[in-house]
Amino acid sequence: MCIPPHSQGCALGYDSAARWASSLLTLTLLSLLFISAPAICDAAERPAGPNSPLAARGLVERLLPGKVDCFTFRVIPAAEGRDVFEIEGGGNRVVIRGNTGVAMATGLNWYLKNYCCCHVSWCGRQLELPQPLPEVSPKLRRVTWAKHRYFLNYCCFGYSLPWWDWQQWDWQQWDWQQWDWQQWEKLIDWMAINGINAPLSVTGQEAVWQTVCKKLGMISGFYLRRWEWYLPGIDPSFPWHDFSDHTGVVYVCSMVAIAQVRDGTSNTYMVGEKFINSDDYTSGKDPGDNHDMYIGHNNDCVRWTEYDPAAPQNAGTARQDRPGAVDSYRFGGTHSGGCQFVFCDGSVHSISYSIDPVTNHRLGNRRDGEPIDAGKL
């Protein structure tokens, strides 16, 4: 089953929307290139300072209260520019060496997992140390193959991080509250013991975008409202931009009420069949049919009715499924004459594959005010 189209032709216009999205992508890449990249490289290549063993001891105190004196941390050189850790000893004390604080933390986790059968995860922990401490002999040495170890993505900052409570290790007992420093500290500790040295940090990035746009003269007069549409601002923790200019029924975070279907519920698509490569009905290889129904805003469950008068050959009308053909943007079906659509009034219609592309475009737009000629369906 497919959830319906959105048409971008009413508010900004399809070309305008694409142009603004492209500009925003360029700014994002510039921000990453000139702001994030140097910070990542500096953090990854900076040698351990005199406070690195102290930081590692602080991590032990948080993970293993009262056990900090069981571990000694020392600084060693990097291995040809790569992070490295060493472990040896046992009994009453284990010595862990590393070229950075993160390398030391990774060595600690290696020892806990592989010698003490301990475990630290997002959902639980087992940190009962055996006594005496297991012996590591001869000395263990590990050099990482990855210079930069990346973690997190943009969606994490809106879907997971704002609500996760590390105080509750039971998934069934989440305490839905905003993060505080204790929760951040636990996540940072988890990243350290797992060797992460390049976590994504997007807090406040919309302020950077706005500053860059202002310096380029792109946030003023006519352009001001356009950038407000695409820069997050209603809720800074939200990872998506504002898509409220979209004119279909389903789009990113859409909550369209009946009253907002201004063209009439009997003139607006709600759900339709989707086009699939007939060779891949059961393989899951079609790019528009390779996820489950809960994937969210994705070509698996959203299709479009786009129409550009300058390129009518690319009109987003439905097509019959065919072998070897891949098109994860349009509607379609197995039937020979047309595919099935549910309109917003609940009625079901078979829409011909030869439907007038302008009419098809209007049916995907809930508020363009244009009439629908029923004879062209």
Give me the tens of pLDDT residue by residue for the chain, a chain 377 residues long. 333 333 332 222 223 333 333 333 333 333 333 333 333 334 445 555 657 899 999 999 999 999 999 999 999 999 999 999 999 999 999 999 999 999 999 999 999 999 999 999 877 899 999 999 999 999 999 999 999 999 988 777 777 776 665 554 444 444 445 567 887 888 899 999 999 999 988 777 777 877 887 788 776 654 555 555 556 544 555 666 667 778 999 988 788 999 999 999 999 999 999 999 999 999 999 999 999 888 888 899 999 999 998 888 889 999 999 999 999 999 999 999 999 999 999 999 999 999 999 999 999 999 999 999 888 77
Other beta carbons within 10 Å of 304: 21
- Give the pLDDT of residue 27: 36
What are the chain's domains?
Answer: 14-31+209-376 (no CATH), 52-143 (3.30.379.10)
HSE-up (13 A, CA, CB side) for residue 122:
10
- What is the model's pLDDT at position 41? 35
**What pLDDT, on a 0 to 100 scale, did the predictor assign at position 317?**
95
What confidence score (pLDDT) does residue 46 get?
A: 57
Phi, psi angles (nearest 5°) of residue 206 = -65, -30
- Locate the DSSP E strands across the chain: 71-75, 84-91, 93-98, 119-120, 125-126, 133-143, 150-151, 198-199, 269-272, 319-320, 332-333, 338-343, 348-352
Asked if 85 and 143 count as a contact pair (C-beta separation under 8 A), the reply is no
pTM above 0.75, yes or no: no
Residue 50's pLDDT is 58
